[in-house]
Structure 1
Amino acid sequence: MNALITGSLTLSLLHALIPSHWLPLVTIGQTERWSYRQLIFVTVVVGLAHTISTSLLGILVSLAGWQLAENYHDLSERAIPLLLLALGLWYLMQHIQHRHLHNHIDTKAVRQTRSFSALLLSLGLAMFLSPCLEIEAYFLSAGAQGWQAVALVVLIYNVITLSGMLVMVTLGRHGLRRVNAHWFEHNENLITSLTLIGLAILNFYIEF
């Protein structure tokens, strides 16, 4: 259970901090001259759209974990770290190929829509249709442990991701955006890859 909590916290925090989850909101908010209250409202709506879709997918994945635990308990102990490792290597390949898979929000496309409600709908839809896949390995593990574990992962992911996004847009609003985030954006797949590979290695030695 400790590995489940630690891994869920780590990936949730990582997703909240990467620029693609908050920098477009700050940029669009500045362009559209949103008030701070509007920016926070949009962040909450967009963040919830993202975490809810990820959680719904995770609940479906957890059903597979439950079936795995019912019939192949020994295999389930190896399947989760292997899945994390596979995802880590996949993101490493995306980094090598210079593809930015975390760009959930197409800032230029969204800016073409000017009304606040239309912008909110566009942003929310973009994030809802782009659930994060990395956390799903922990939903698979949680499903093997029961619905209380699934609920715990849902709670951790939603609270940490949304809270982190709110903190980052607040900092961005007050000048953090002046710092060049290009390096982080350019290397976010590498950072995600190393995090997943590290968690995979850790979980080979620590039981879920």
Structure 2
Amino acid sequence: MNQILIGSLILSILHALIPSHWLPFVTIGKTERWTESRTLTVTALAGLAHTISTTILGLIVGLAGYKLAENYHQLAESVIPAVLLMLGLWYLMQHLRHQHAHEHIDTQQQKGKSFKTLLFSLCLGMFLSPCMEINAYFLSAGALGWQALGLVALIYNLVTLAGMLLMVWVAGRGLRLINAHWFEHNENLITGLTLIALAILNFFIEF
């Protein structure tokens, strides 16, 4: 259980820090001259749409894990690390191809729209772009039962939303705690290496 929760926490923190999860809201907010509270509200609503769609997909995957509960030991020892490893290698390939797999929102396409249209577009864009990496942990949690599945969903939703709001707040105040451009350019590399590290952790370490 601890292994699943720690992995879920790490991936949730990583996603909250990925620039595509918060930088578009900062950019659009400045372009549209939104107040800080409006920018944070839009971020929260769009972020919620994103985590809801990811959670729905995760629960479906978790149901598959629930049906495989009798084979949980094999699932945890081989299937989950394999899924994480394949995802990690895929993101590394995207990095080598210089593609941004996490680019949920095209900022340029959003400019000039009315607030309601803009809000709907941002929420729809985030809803239709669920994060796939966390599904390995939904699958594993599903094999342990609904309580574990609920904990993974809770961790993902709370950490992702809180992280997105924090990053928007920090960037909106002009604080330069991270190099967003470098992070954005290398987000596939960071995601890929993190997933591979988690695959190794899951394969060799029992919590």
What's the TM-score once normalised by structure 1's chain length? 0.95
Question: Counterpart amino acid of 2:121?
Answer: S
Deviation of 1:73 after TM superposition, in Å, equals 3.3
- Find the counterpart in structure 1 of residue 99 from structure 2: 99
- Find the counterpart in structure 2 of residue 171 from structure 1: 170
**Contact 1:23/1:177 (CA < 8 Å) preserved in 2?**
no
- Find the counterpart in structure 2 of residue 86 from structure 1: 86
Q: Does 1:140 align with 2:139?
A: yes
- Find the counterpart in structure 1 of residue 116 from structure 2: 117
Secondary structure of the residue aligned to 1:99 is coil
- Find the counterpart in structure 2 of residue 18 from structure 1: 18
Runs of 5+ consecutive residues of structure 1 not aligned to the other structure: none
Secondary structure of the residue aligned to 1:176 is coil
Secondary structure of the residue aligned to 2:86 is helix
- CA deviation string 1:33-77 (max 9, x = no partner): 00111011101101100000000000000011112223x334312
Secondary structure of the residue aligned to 1:130 is coil
- Find the counterpart in structure 1 of residue 151 from structure 2: 152
Question: Counterpart amino acid of 1:83?
Answer: V
Give me the whole-angstrom Cα distance separating, in 1, the residues matched to 2:104 and 2:142.
27
**Identity across matched positions, percent:** 65
- Find the counterpart in structure 1 of residue 9 from structure 2: 9
CA RMSD of aligned residues (A): 1.5
Aligned length: 206
Give me the whole-angstrom Cα distance separating, in 1, the residues matched to 2:132 and 2:206.
22
Q: Does 1:40 align with 2:40?
A: yes
What's the TM-score once normalised by structure 2's chain length? 0.95
Give me the whole-angstrom Cα distance separating, in 1, the residues matched to 2:25 and 2:50.
14
Question: Counterpart amino acid of 1:197?
Answer: I
Give me the whole-angstrom Cα distance separating, in 2, the residues matched to 1:139 and 1:180.
31
Give me the whole-angstrom Cα distance separating, in 2, the residues matched to 1:81 and 1:207.
12
Q: Which runs of 4+ in 1 moved over 3 A?
A: 176-180
Give me the whole-angstrom Cα distance separating, in 2, the residues matched to 1:25 and 1:177.
16
Q: Does 1:55 align with 2:50?
A: no
Give me the whole-angstrom Cα distance separating, in 2, the residues matched to 1:26 and 1:82.
36
Question: Counterpart amino acid of 2:29?
Answer: G
**Contact 2:72/2:144 (CA < 8 Å) preserved in 1?**
no
Secondary structure of the residue aligned to 2:68 is helix
Give me the whole-angstrom Cα distance separating, in 2, the residues matched to 1:142 and 1:201.
18
Question: Counterpart amino acid of 2:91?
Answer: Y
**Contact 1:81/1:204 (CA < 8 Å) preserved in 2?**
yes
- CA deviation string 1:73-114 (max 9, x = no partner): 34312101111011101111111111101000110111142x
Secondary structure of the residue aligned to 1:100 is coil
Deviation of 1:180 after TM superposition, in Å, equals 4.8
Question: Counterpart amino acid of 2:95?
Answer: H
Runs of 5+ consecutive residues of structure 2 not aligned to the other structure: none
